[in-house]
Structure 1
Amino acid sequence: MEKKGIVGKTEQRWDAVAKVTGQAKFTEDFPIANQLHGKIMHATITHGRVVKYDISEAEKMPGVVKVLLPEDLPQNKFGTAGHPYGLDPAKRDIEDRQLLTREIRVYGDEIAAVVAKTELQAVKAIEKIKVEYEEYPVYLTPKEAIADDAMRIHEERDNTIAHTTAGYGDVKKGMAEADYVVKESFSTSPQQHIHMESQVAVAFRSDDQRWTCISSTQIPYICRRIIAQAIGISWAQVRVKKPFIGGGFGNKQEITIEPLTVAMSMACGGKPVQLRLTREESIAFTRTRHAIDYDVEMGVKKDGTITAVDFNVYSNQGGYASHGHAIGSKGGSFINALYKMENFRYDARTVYTNIATAGAMRGYGIPQVTFALESLVEDACDKIGMDPIKFRTMNCRPEGFFNELSKVQQFDFKPVECLEKGREAFHWDEKLADSLKHKTGDKRRGVGVAAFSYGTAVYPFGLEVSSARLILMPDASFKLMLGATEIGQGADTAFSQMAADTLGVSYDKIIRDSMTDTDIDPFDPGAYASRQTYISGYAVREAAEKMRNKLIDLSSRMYDVRPEFIDIVDGNVVYVHNNQKIASLEDVAMASYYDMHYGKALEASASVNIHNNSYASGCTFAQVEVDVETGRTEILSIMNVHDSGKIINPLLASGQVDGGMVMGIGYGMGEGVRYNAKGKPLNNNLLDYKIPTFMDVPDLDQMFVESEDPLGPYGNKSLGENPLCSPAAALRNAVKDATTVGINNMPLSTQNVFEHLKKADII
């Protein structure tokens, strides 16, 4: 396929002007006549059941239309995770949710709801509902929940959702062959997504007597299916529309409010009902990143050879299955992807507890396992006295390695280049020398590094399909229609560049739409797993190639030139051999609509099922200064280096890396939902939940080790999630280099660092 120069070039986001001028319409911005408002009553205990309701006062409140209890709504069990439907029942997501529940497993469970004429009236009515509870023991950690005397959180299944072991070789033998065995325990935090736009949905019965849901969702087609399952109607009776969306990061890869919103509308005779979560509700009662505990060992020889790695993993799922074991179990294949080791064992448990349900979040388990792995690697380097970059480069997997655990061949895999080029670009040796000068006194400096590997999409573990449609317009522009979801990451801009590149037209000739509509746009599972420019990119390319061939065929007949002699370049029909213009594409487009002889409106569609995957890699370098008197850590310098194949749009890629690095810094340095001993969230607001501000973040440096991935549709592979995989581990290692104290529980907040330094007698 000949490149036209659009892919690989910075183009302005197609939605940029609408967003910066306030023209962009989000879910709440659509004026809907006679719209009602729903609110949820959340449980104020963590584990137990509702014994009795008294709704008499609530029903009398001004503006109240309906007060809904669990028995007023369908009782179907359903799963909420954003995975494609499995034809094999054994491979489907666990169905352990109901629209409303009397059985409480998490503080804030949805136990009742009110629909009123205004949101304030609904809130006031909720306050009037009286509830009596029966309380049960609370389990906040996996080890508490799997203790012999722990009761089941879900009566129908064990608290251990799944327990799997993967690996190869003989770990005990490998440890015995090692000169040193490094044994550690690590704990990561339940980070929250903090997307700008909270969850919001509007539902109503449409003119065709079906149910329409407008939602801020990453997964419109999956949303349609889960709504139907929860309500108990056919999937085709539901239409989901996604307008502009204010971020998701995986939290909107979960169906949290949409089924209840439709059920509220049904209870009100099909009238439109809006359900919007407050920031406090979104933080506390939707989803978090999985908090995972690791008990790990690594055997190493004095020359840096890894003889064995042993991981015991305890993934805290919270009260409901959501994405479940997919996250806790995922890490093993990515450890194996990154480093050579003769013996490996990865034993993973995913466990129900009584904290907020954990689900998908940007990175999908890899930031957690990278924190544990790269901290362990750093400690092994200290044991044998080896340079941490040298240790990593000598142990990295080579290009072409076939990963038996994931069944993926890592053709274009460049962690060594990332580490080596990053060392030079970051000025590692100079910063290391600078840090050595600051090992005493109140403020001490250190440098740290961490590497990672990351897949693209979910094959072979899950379905990877996508579709695209192109319609030729009379002015030779093209309407590009996709089920793939723009959630603020710039996917639509990248797709437009891909289509333009293949068609041979300028970027501004591709028309996109902010609204994804399951009645109109072709099927795609949605935005997750860094999949869209890779999987949906194949669909875009195939549809564009079909359209290009149709245009060449039409031009051949119109101008009596054999099709093999024709090309499309810069929006013109030209001779292949010398680019001499035959006609403008506008002339051909107009003929396709109106010519008496040749007229036939042109469309091209493609649907793909992709059975390959490409592994990306990268690393983070960091220098910090730690005030040992207070524990305050300042990031002096930080750099990400990425191996992500061909970069489709350099400016968008740069923005992705900046955003991911800031999220990774927040994960490593301060973020995490906190709970008291009874499971009540303590910091579900933006005053107490600390996300990084401009004052907390230094200049962010980045570079790409660019290549043409042989399997990517345009030489590209994953980038969206990758940037936050390694900053937390690099920062931990830098703090250790500065203070000699390895801090193995996240985040590295001022308080946490202070307590560790005090315990180590550094202060």
Structure 2
Amino acid sequence: MYVGKSVNRVDAYDKVTGRAKYTEDFIRNGSYTAKILHSTIAHGKVISIDTSKAEKLEGIIKIITCFDVPKHSFPTAGHPWSVDENHQDIADRRLLNEHVRYYGDDIAVVIAENEVQALQALKLIEVEYEEYEAVFDPIESMNSNSIPIHEQTPNNIIGHTKNRFGNYEEAIKEKGLIKIDTWYETPIVQHSHIENHIAYAYEEQGKIVVVASTQIPHIVRRVCGQALGISLGKIRIVKPYIGGGFGNKQDALYEPLAAYLTTQVGGHPVKLDSTREETFVSSRTRHSEKIHIISYVRSDGTFVARKLELYANNGGYASHGHSIAAKGTNCFHQLYPCDNIEADGYTVYTNLPTAGAMRGYGIPQTMFAFESHLDDVALKLGLDPIELRIQNIMPKGFKDGFSRNENYYDSFREAIAVGRRAIDYDKKREEYKNQSGNIRRGVGLGCFWYNTGVYPISVETSSCRMVLNQDGSVQVQLGETEIGQGGDTAFSQMAADSIGVPLDDIHIVSTQDTDVTPFGLGAYASRQTYMASFSITNTAKIFKEKIIDRARKELEFAPKNLDLVDGMIIRKTDNRQLMSLGELATIALYDNKDSDHISAESTYTIRNNAFSFGASFAEVEVDIALGKVKILRLVNVHDCGKLINPRLAEAQAHGGMSMAVGFALSEELKYNDKGKILNNNLLDYKLSTTMDHPNFEVYFIENPEPTSPYNTKSLGEPPTCSPAPAIRNAILNATGVRVNQCPMTPHVLFPLFKEAGLIENDYEKEMKYENKAWSVENV
């Protein structure tokens, strides 16, 4: 059995030796280069574009403006299509846009023989705008009287989730309740994957072929068809290896434009390759959110009534629309169930870069607020934060009425107990009481809730194809995509066990090609291992039955007495090896009377979902005078069901924890009063590095998920969800200061410490240079 073992990645050798091919490796010599002209205002209308000077340059093939492209709009979100029009994604984007909705919007494209010529041409294009008032705050935007960002959405509100349970207004009348009322805010951040967005398109055999770095090849094919207004059968998407996506490539970004551009130059190959600066601004970001939470509690820590207002800043275009804010809003009544709930989540257009899917899909933002609020409640009541959580968190047996997800175990309390022991929480809480001085330490925790996939909001389906080779090895193809996370390795492990062959005999096809790859929805929602397990096991069952039936013909045994184990046909009664699978495959292929190429393919529609749970524990050291936080330890505990590959699981957790450290302490896209992003580069945008990390510690609680063929559930995104509030709550424990916004940089912390009197009390007298040796007079 291979499931549950830390086998080597199937793509490891090709990647470390440089053999793995990415999109840029597919580009032919002689291909044209396309470069985009971006708007220099945040909101307005393009009145005219003068390309005459640029067109005179040598090497310019064609310049296409927003006035030239098809006039219909299309959606870009990487969601499965819905046959119900009311559940389809918002079609608010064009290939190039006359109505400019953020600073950096796409308004024209230069196609040239090379990049230098294209960039020179961009500088010579002259644009005249009609400028409108821009708005950057979601609450201001939904109450703005200026020109709507999208004509069909006059109040700029993309969506509103409204949840009501019990009677909030009546419940808060109870005497003796304690009210905790706080706002929290999270920033705009960027995915910062290694490989920028790139698409390469050409025409061949009557089709438009797009080679692209995408998480969702089959969905991109559909969006390209919608954008160009042509049949999907005339479009072919090829997805090679990709250098990271983290949700940013769960949108159809520049694939539709690349597909259109090749049609404008007679099908000649065209490369559309974003720079790092463009990727920061003109792809997708994580939503910044403003979150208001009110809790009415009894002195013993019992929640009586709770209220949530969530405002998600979606930027200029809908992308994934309201689904991200809706997920966070719906989490509110599940993580800490309460009888009386009022929750309202809003997603709002603004004139900032478009926000979309990013690892965690809205839950890192809401967990920062929800889990910070839990510590704020505990502080107000004088209770230990762990005990407050244990008292109120989702219990075993909880079942959500909508998703039908069920908590089959007491996973939260198990995770809290594991993390509590690992970080020595109780000893350190006692040790760090009553600290003084500049350097102080603290410990904190944050819990998280997550789903697996998107059912029942959208369809969940997976297809798998298995083909028997002459030597007994097996080709496996899936629509689910390898994006660097190790998916192909997990798929191979499950396929080997499901069929009954050695892992080395599984040859998984990593490149998706929509002309030949079975339909699949791609990589998102931490769905792939869970969803693919259904199609892999279902296809393997059909495949194995065909193999055993062929063995029956050759060996003249009853099928019930035969099995396939480790690549050998065996007799069940005594485990005697009768024939290798390679021998059987050769006979089947070359039998003069009854040749048979054994293969199987099936689609499985999944009507399940599963909760994934866990917690983070952080120990920090705070330099109060500098407003600087050093993470001493960071522990993640996950209940993600049965581990398919423990080493890959730990690596997934480490990657998510790293992203969460940046979210907590350093990352933020900044913009000026014109909406222009100021730090769209890897120098000024402060990603966390290994220098900012402690040694990450990960623990797994392998409670088998009963809805899954291999008892597994989501892990890819959960590691990002809870470290930020754990770090924040550790700062609270160290200093007594509540920090209600990310990132918790010195610029944020210093004023708070100053306001709390920490700096005045401990250092200000020393900073007045009373020592005459350092006085101005002596200098």
Q: TM-score range by the shorter chain?
A: over 0.9
1:673-718, Cα deviation, whole Å (9 max, x unpaired): 1111111101100001010111101100010001211001210000
Structure 1: gaps (5+ residues): none
How does 1:625-664 map onto structure 2 within 5 Å? Answer: 625-664=621-660
The one-letter amino acid paired with 2:537 is R
How does 1:267-666 map onto structure 2 within 5 Å? Answer: 267-412=264-409, 414-436=411-433, 439-666=435-662
Map of 2:684 onto structure 1: 688
The one-letter amino acid paired with 1:537 is S
Map of 2:726 onto structure 1: 730
1:32-60, Cα deviation, whole Å (9 max, x unpaired): 14210000000011111112211111001
1:214-234, Cα deviation, whole Å (9 max, x unpaired): 000000011001111111101
Selected match of 2:139 from 139, 143, 150? 143
Deviation at 1:756, TM superposition (A): 1.5
Map of 1:94 onto structure 2: 90
Deviation at 1:762, TM superposition (A): 1.7
For residues 467 and 403 of structure 2, the distance between their equivalents in structure 1, rounded to whole angstroms, comes to 38
For residues 130 and 56 of structure 1, the distance between their equivalents in structure 2, rounded to whole angstroms, comes to 9
SS in 1 for 2:28: coil
How does 1:149-164 map onto structure 2 within 5 Å? Answer: 149-158=145-154, 159-164=156-161
Map of 2:208 onto structure 1: 211
SS in 2 for 1:410: coil
1:303-324, Cα deviation, whole Å (9 max, x unpaired): 2221122101111110111111
SS in 1 for 2:347: strand
Map of 2:673 onto structure 1: 677
Deviation at 1:332, TM superposition (A): 2.8
For residues 383 and 209 of structure 1, the distance between their equivalents in structure 2, rounded to whole angstroms, comes to 68
Q: Does the aligned pair in 2 maintain the 1:645–1:706 contact within 8 Å?
A: yes
SS in 2 for 1:176: coil
SS in 2 for 1:270: coil
SS in 1 for 2:172: helix
The one-letter amino acid paired with 1:198 is N
Distance 1:257 1:741, change over 3 A: same
The one-letter amino acid paired with 1:8 is G
The one-letter amino acid paired with 1:430 is K
SS in 1 for 2:406: strand
For residues 280 and 29 of structure 1, the distance between their equivalents in structure 2, rounded to whole angstroms, comes to 22
SS in 2 for 1:461: coil
Map of 1:265 onto structure 2: 262
For residues 459 and 477 of structure 1, the distance between their equivalents in structure 2, rounded to whole angstroms, comes to 34
For residues 130 and 264 of structure 1, the distance between their equivalents in structure 2, rounded to whole angstroms, comes to 21
For residues 23 and 413 of structure 1, the distance between their equivalents in structure 2, rounded to whole angstroms, comes to 46
Deviation at 1:151, TM superposition (A): 2.8
Map of 1:19 onto structure 2: 15
Structure 2: gaps (5+ residues): 760-779
Q: Does the aligned pair in 2 maintain the 1:556–1:563 contact within 8 Å?
A: yes
Q: Does the aligned pair in 1 maintain the 2:444–2:726 contact within 8 Å?
A: yes
For residues 276 and 443 of structure 1, the distance between their equivalents in structure 2, rounded to whole angstroms, comes to 47
For residues 202 and 172 of structure 1, the distance between their equivalents in structure 2, rounded to whole angstroms, comes to 57
User: 2:111 aligned with 1:115, yes or no?
Assistant: yes
Map of 1:46 onto structure 2: 42
Map of 2:188 onto structure 1: 190
Q: Does the aligned pair in 2 maintain the 1:412–1:614 contact within 8 Å?
A: no
For residues 492 and 415 of structure 2, the distance between their equivalents in structure 1, rounded to whole angstroms, comes to 29
For residues 17 and 141 of structure 1, the distance between their equivalents in structure 2, rounded to whole angstroms, comes to 47
How does 1:24-103 map onto structure 2 within 5 Å? Answer: 24-103=20-99
Map of 1:667 onto structure 2: 663
Segment drifting more, 567-576 vs 167-176: 167-176
Deviation at 1:86, TM superposition (A): 1.4
For residues 603 and 151 of structure 1, the distance between their equivalents in structure 2, rounded to whole angstroms, comes to 59
The one-letter amino acid paired with 1:240 is I
For residues 709 and 189 of structure 2, the distance between their equivalents in structure 1, rounded to whole angstroms, comes to 33
SS in 1 for 2:510: coil
Root-mean-square deviation (Å): 1.3
SS in 1 for 2:313: strand
1:590-636, Cα deviation, whole Å (9 max, x unpaired): 12212335531100111011111110100000010111101000001
User: 2:122 aligned with 1:126, yes or no?
Assistant: yes
Fraction of identical pairs, as percent = 44
For residues 31 and 169 of structure 1, the distance between their equivalents in structure 2, rounded to whole angstroms, comes to 60
User: 2:752 aligned with 1:756, yes or no?
Assistant: yes
Selected match of 1:248 from 245, 256, 272? 245
The one-letter amino acid paired with 1:384 is L
SS in 1 for 2:295: strand
| Number of equivalenced pairs | 757
Q: Does the aligned pair in 2 maintain the 1:69–1:111 contact within 8 Å?
A: yes
For residues 549 and 335 of structure 1, the distance between their equivalents in structure 2, rounded to whole angstroms, comes to 47
For residues 479 and 226 of structure 2, the distance between their equivalents in structure 1, rounded to whole angstroms, comes to 20
Map of 1:170 onto structure 2: 167
The one-letter amino acid paired with 2:268 is K
